[in-house]
């Protein structure tokens, strides 16, 4: 028997090539499909020949193909790729966001391989099994929950006696017109008994900068929006430290990868086990770097320090809401203040953090939203933090979805809570509309106190604002202590200032475009700073710098000219110094260096005076430097406008009487040091 | 003995050489300090691709941003 295992696509329908080629997509595509590789390893132990198809990889290939440019649908492209595959069983792993696509592909495979047996597994099919089999006759069987023990028995039954399927726990299948749903299978208690993933079946592993390693399964908590409990049954299990470290070492030796993603819904539930793992890593003597998920109430400063010492370089914190009331409502029950301390602690230990927040809960009020956005604002200043804000997505069979099952609405505002693209294929949209129970994640729960269109735009405003103007957003947060009210002002301003032919563009396309940057800076400069801003001089300083940075982003880096300039020498008094081509000189009304320092350290802004400070901004290859200048440096650079030679600059310098240095010496010294730093270039006059 | 002088990095006449006192004054006067270094993003960068660690397929999202440098232990 031969089996073809197909991973669920976690990227799909990114409608634009530019997006398809983005770093994020390529990183996602680098991620080895651990679920099917783990299953493949088990099947190999049972002597089953297995082929792996990674739809993320295929999508990456597709997005750069002529088919994509001719708007040929990915499903058709992927189905063509699967057509030559010879297999008796096709097994699709499923997740919620790409479930419509998976079902379309199952239909395509049925058409090209009419005799093959089509099996679905994974989290989405596991919870919508009966409805799937009822609605999609091309699917033969669904393996629910952990498949490593169940799937080999299914294959054996198919080879010997299909009648035995009715005796296997953990499966749902069709017998004639009847759907048979067997009881759940037991979870796998001894995860150490599972073989390591079959990375040898995945040649792309050599291109990956990191490898996933399953650390364990099951989260004992019961958050009302989370879907993992149905799959792993809340039974917390962890692999032994020596097994984990041994797998990591083996991957490092075989593929040269020393960076690992420890896959576990909640790695830090058992402190002793985490410490034992840290000890095992350190005792191994290997340089191994790893990241994991954690709850902020399952770590403390000491534990984070130990984890960092053992190579932990990333922590995912699902904080989810900054409101104490909502923490209770969603049964997350984190102490928000403690959560903030743990984010700070991780950053102090140089562990990068992901701070993930959600809005759009049914009971959420605007005050709850403000609390969440305040948490977001407080976390922005940590340079190692990746801030996420999601719209709530009703995942199938979660408590929140079950409660609002009859009130779900399809409003075209999609959450990115799981993997979600920008566009939905028209055929998939029809499937989604026809089968709410199968695809609830594309629907919305009612939000009594909050308008979802408002939340969608707030999210675009904040995330794109952070992406483009991080320190401006940090300053707006500090200035207002309420980014939601800043957004409200932005909406009012936009309504007056941004309408074109009476249309106001609030789309993601607008917010992801430079037009948003220009408008945001104009809004802060002309409206917010003058009407609401507590620190107008700081806001004007920040806006000025951001405006110049935007200009430099637009320009092309001049690397070759930069290296030539570094060799510039002032040959004579006739030499004409000119401000470097990609340098912008400006005066701002506050000490920018001090401002950035205060924002990073969260220290009071009141002490930063209203005073003129000189800056020069320059682009060097892929970096933009903002350099603060002393007043004499600024005076000197201001004279480098190409109309004066060194001698004339010396004559025009006004500042050096008090230094008791001759103007010529002062100007030549200053110009030489500016030339060395690449801030000016020179035009020497041939004698 | 005449005070030691420092020749500055130019090809202008030697008489512009500076005494240590002058050099110190000028160094103090002409200061520059880097306030910020940002990685230049591409113009019109696409929307951030973010996913939540809820349920499944979350691992790739967690790895969306990788540290660029390794800590020394």
| Residues of A in Cβ contact (< 8 Å) with B14 | none
CA distance A230 to chain B (A): 10
Q: Quick check: A615 and B35 CB within 8 A?
A: yes
Provide the pLDDT for residue A686. 57
Q: Quick check: A572 and B11 CB within 8 A?
A: yes
- Euclidean distance between the first and the last CA atom of chain B, given in angstroms as a whole number: 53
Mutate to test the interface with B, among A419, A613, A623 (most CBs of B within 10 A): A419
Lowest mean pLDDT of A33-37, A213-217, B69-73, name the range.
B69-73
- Range ranked top by mean pLDDT from A384-393, A444-453, A577-586, B2-11: A444-453
Domain boundaries in chain A? Answer: 2-181, 209-392, 559-683
φ and ψ at residue A21, rounded to 5 degrees: -95, 0
- Euclidean distance between the first and the last CA atom of chain A, given in angstroms as a whole number: 86
**Smallest Cβ distance to A569: which of B10, B31, B35?**
B10
Across B16-30, average pLDDT: 85
* CA-based nearest residue in chain B for residue A387: B50
Is the predicted pLDDT of residue A162 greater than 80, yes or no?
no
Provide the pLDDT for residue A384. 85
**Smallest Cβ distance to B70: which of A289, A358, A665?**
A289
- pLDDT classification of B64: cutoffs 50, 70, 90: very low
**Smallest Cβ distance to A226: which of B54, B59, B67?**
B54
Max Cα-Cα span within chain A: 102
| Residues of B in Cβ contact (< 8 Å) with A664 | 16
Is the predicted pLDDT of residue A566 greater than 50, yes or no?
no
- CATH classification of A559-683, choosing from 3.90.930.50, 1.20.1070.10, 2.20.25.570, 3.40.50.300? 3.90.930.50
Provide the pLDDT for residue A27. 62
| pLDDT, tens only, A73-86 | 889 999 999 999 99
- pLDDT classification of B52: cutoffs 50, 70, 90: very low
| CA nearest to A637, candidates B7, B5, B31, B15 | B31
**Smallest Cβ distance to B33: which of A356, A572, A628?**
A628
Pairing between β-strand A141-143 and β-strand A117-121 as defined by DSSP bridges: parallel
| Residues of A in Cβ contact (< 8 Å) with B69 | none
| pLDDT, tens only, A194-242 | 999 999 999 889 888 889 999 999 999 999 999 887 788 788 999 999 9
Helix residue ranges, H only, A53-184: 55-63, 66-69, 74-82, 99-112, 123-127, 129-135, 150-160
Q: Quick check: A672 and B9 CB within 8 A?
A: yes
Across A297-307, average pLDDT: 98
Q: Quick check: B64 and A386 CB within 8 A?
A: yes
Provide the pLDDT for residue A19. 54
- pLDDT classification of A417: cutoffs 50, 70, 90: low
| CA nearest to A640, candidates A584, A593, A566 | A584
Integer Cα distance of B18 and B27 in angstroms: 11
Q: How buried is A272 (Cβ within 10 angstroms: 0-12 exposed, 13-18 middle, 19+ buried)?
A: exposed
| Residues of A in Cβ contact (< 8 Å) with B60 | 10, 27-28, 31, 56, 419
| Residues of A in Cβ contact (< 8 Å) with B32 | 616, 627-630, 633, 677, 679
* CA-based nearest residue in chain A for residue B61: A28
| pLDDT, tens only, A636-664 | 999 999 999 988 998 888 765 667 788 88
Provide the pLDDT for residue B54. 38
Q: Quick check: B12 and A24 CB within 8 A?
A: no
Q: DSSP label at A225?
A: T
Q: Quick check: B43 and A514 CB within 8 A?
A: yes
Task: Identify the residue with better confidence: A406 or B59.
Answer: A406
Integer Cα distance of A635 and A614 in angstroms: 9
Mutate to test the interface with B, among A210, A259, A285, A354 (most CBs of B within 10 A): A354
Q: Quick check: B18 and A665 CB within 8 A?
A: yes
Q: Quick check: B40 and A624 CB within 8 A?
A: yes
* CA-based nearest residue in chain A for residue B54: A226
Is the predicted pLDDT of residue A252 greater than 90, yes or no?
yes
Contacting residues for A417 by C-beta, under 8 A, at least 6 apart: A358, A390, A391, A392, A393, A395, A441, B51, B52, B54
Across A45-72, average pLDDT: 85
Q: DSSP label at A503?
A: B
Q: Quick check: B59 and A388 CB within 8 A?
A: no
- pLDDT classification of A685: cutoffs 50, 70, 90: low
Is the predicted pLDDT of residue B53 greater than 60, yes or no?
no
The DSSP element (H or E) to which A179 belongs, if any, is strand A178-181
Q: Quick check: A554 and B34 CB within 8 A?
A: no
Topology of A2-181 in CATH? Answer: Rossmann fold (3.40.50)
pTM: predicted TM-score of the whole model, two decimal places: 0.90
| Residues of A in Cβ contact (< 8 Å) with B26 | 659, 661, 665-666, 669-670
Q: Quick check: A228 and B56 CB within 8 A?
A: yes
User: How many cross-chain Cβ pairs, A to B, lie less than 8 Å apart?
Assistant: 256
Across A624-643, average pLDDT: 93
Q: Quick check: B37 and A626 CB within 8 A?
A: yes
Is the predicted pLDDT of residue B48 greater than 60, yes or no?
no
Is the predicted pLDDT of residue A433 greater than 60, yes or no?
yes
Q: DSSP label at A389?
A: E
Is the predicted pLDDT of residue A377 greater than 70, yes or no?
yes
Integer Cα distance of A456 and A454 in angstroms: 5
Provide the pLDDT for residue B58. 41
Q: Quick check: B39 and A228 CB within 8 A?
A: no
Provide the pLDDT for residue A614. 97
Across all residues in chain A, what is the average pLDDT?
Answer: 90
The DSSP element (H or E) to which A402 belongs, if any, is helix A399-403
Integer Cα distance of A652 and A663 in angstroms: 9
* CA-based nearest residue in chain B for residue A12: B49
| Residues of B in Cβ contact (< 8 Å) with A231 | 56
Interface ipTM: 0.72
Across A454-478, average pLDDT: 95
Radius of gyration of chain B (CA): 26
| pLDDT, tens only, A597-621 | 999 999 999 999 999 999 999 988 7
The DSSP element (H or E) to which A509 belongs, if any, is helix A508-511
* CA-based nearest residue in chain B for residue A646: B12
> Check: CATH 3.80.30.20 for A209-392?
yes
User: How open is the CA angle A625-A629-A635, to the nearest 5 degrees?
Assistant: 125
Across A56-82, average pLDDT: 83
- pLDDT classification of A154: cutoffs 50, 70, 90: very high
| Residues of B in Cβ contact (< 8 Å) with A25 | 49
Q: Quick check: B65 and A352 CB within 8 A?
A: yes
Is the predicted pLDDT of residue A522 greater than 80, yes or no?
yes
Integer Cα distance of A171 and A184 in angstroms: 8
């Amino acid at each position: 028997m031969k089996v073809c295992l197909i991973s669920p696509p976690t990227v799909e329908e990114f409608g634009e090539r530019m997006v398809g080629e983005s770093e994020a997509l390529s990183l996602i595509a680098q991620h080895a499909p651990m679920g099917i590789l783990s299953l493949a390893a088990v099947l190999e132990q049972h002597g089953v020949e297995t082929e792996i198809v990674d739809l993320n990889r295929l999508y990456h290939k597709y997005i750069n193909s002529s088919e994509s440019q001719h708007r040929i649908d990915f499903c058709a492209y992927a189905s063509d790729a699967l057509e030559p595959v010879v297999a008796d069983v096709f097994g699709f792993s499923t997740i919620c966001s790409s479930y419509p696509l998976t079902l379309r592909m199952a239909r395509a495979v049925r058409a090209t391989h009419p005799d093959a047996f089509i099996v679905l597994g994974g989290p989405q099919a596991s919870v919508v099994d009966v409805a799937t089999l009822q609605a999609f006759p091309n699917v033969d069987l669904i393996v629910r929950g952990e498949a490593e023990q169940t799937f080999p028995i299914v294959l054996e039954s198919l080879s010997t006696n299909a009648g035995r399927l009715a005796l296997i726990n953990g499966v749902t299948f069709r017998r004639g017109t009847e759907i048979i749903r067997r009881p759940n299978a037991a979870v796998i208690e001894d995860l150490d008994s599972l073989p390591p993933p079959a990375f040898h079946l995945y040649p792309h592993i050599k291109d990956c900068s990191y490898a996933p390693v399953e650390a364990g399964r099951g989260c004992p908590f019961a958050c009302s929006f989370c879907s993992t409990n149905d799959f792993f049954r809340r039974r917390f299990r962890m692999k032994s430290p020596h097994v984990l470290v041994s797998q990591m070492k083996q991957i490092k030796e075989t593929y040269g990868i020393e960076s690992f993603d420890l896959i576990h819904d909640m790695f830090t539930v058992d402190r002793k086990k985490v410490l034992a793992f840290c000890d095992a890593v350190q005792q191994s003597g290997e340089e191994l770097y790893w990241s994991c998920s954690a709850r902020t109430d399952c770590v403390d400063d000491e534990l984070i320090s130990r984890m960092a010492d053992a190579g932990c370089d990333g922590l995912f914190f699902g904080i989810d809401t900054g409101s104490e009331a909502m923490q209770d409502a969603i049964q997350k029950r984190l102490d928000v203040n403690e959560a903030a301390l743990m984010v700070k602690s991780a950053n102090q230990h140089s562990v990068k953090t992901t701070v993930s927040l959600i809005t759009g809960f049914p009971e959420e009020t605007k005050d709850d939203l403000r609390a969440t956005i305040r948490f977001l604002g407080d976390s922005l200043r940590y340079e190692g933090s990746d801030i996420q804000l999601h719209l709530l997505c009703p995942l199938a069979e979660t408590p929140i979805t079950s409660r609002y099952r009859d009130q779900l609405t399809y409003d075209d505002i999609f959450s990115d809570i799981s993997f979600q693209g920008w566009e939905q294929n028209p055929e998939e949209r029809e499937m989604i509309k026809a089968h709410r129970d199968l695809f609830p994640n594309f629907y919305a729960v009612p939000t009594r106190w909050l308008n979802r269109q408002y939340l969608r735009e707030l999210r675009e405003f904040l995330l794109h604002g952070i992406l483009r103007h991080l320190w401006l957003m940090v300053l707006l947060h500090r200035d207002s202590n309420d980014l939601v009210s800043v957004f409200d002002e932005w909406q009012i301003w936009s309504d007056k200032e941004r309408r074109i032919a009476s249309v106001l563009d609030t789309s993601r396309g607008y917010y992801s475009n430079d037009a948003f940057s220009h408008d945001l800076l104009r809004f802060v400069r002309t409206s917010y700073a003058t009407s609401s801003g507590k620190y107008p001089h700081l806001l004007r300083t920040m806006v000025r710098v951001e405006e110049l940075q935007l200009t430099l982003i637009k320009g092309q880096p001049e690397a070759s000219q930069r290296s030539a300039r570094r060799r510039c020498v002032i040959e004579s008094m006739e030499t004409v110094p000119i401000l470097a081509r990609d340098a912008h000189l400006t005066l701002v009304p506050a000490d920018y260096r001090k401002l950035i320092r205060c924002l990073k350290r969260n220290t009071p802004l009141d002490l930063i005076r209203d005073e003129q400070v000189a800056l020069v901004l320059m682009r060097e290859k892929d970096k933009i430097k903002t350099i603060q200048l002393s007043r004499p440096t600024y005076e000197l650079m201001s004279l480098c406008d190409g109309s004066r030679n060194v001698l004339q600059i010396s004559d025009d310098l006004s500042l050096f009487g008090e230094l008791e240095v001759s103007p010529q010496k002062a100007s030549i010294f200053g110009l030489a040091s500016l030339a060395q730093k690449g801030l000016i270039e020179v035009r020497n006059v041939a004698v | 003995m005449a005070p030691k002088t420092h020749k500055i990095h130019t090809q202008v006449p030697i008489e512009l050489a500076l005494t240590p006192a002058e050099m110190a004054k000028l160094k103090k006067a002409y200061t520059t300090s880097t306030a910020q270094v940002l990685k230049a993003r591409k113009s019109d960068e696409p929307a951030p691709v973010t996913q939540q660690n809820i349920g499944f397929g979350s691992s790739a999202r967690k790895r969306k941003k990788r540290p660029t440098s390794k800590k020394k232990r």
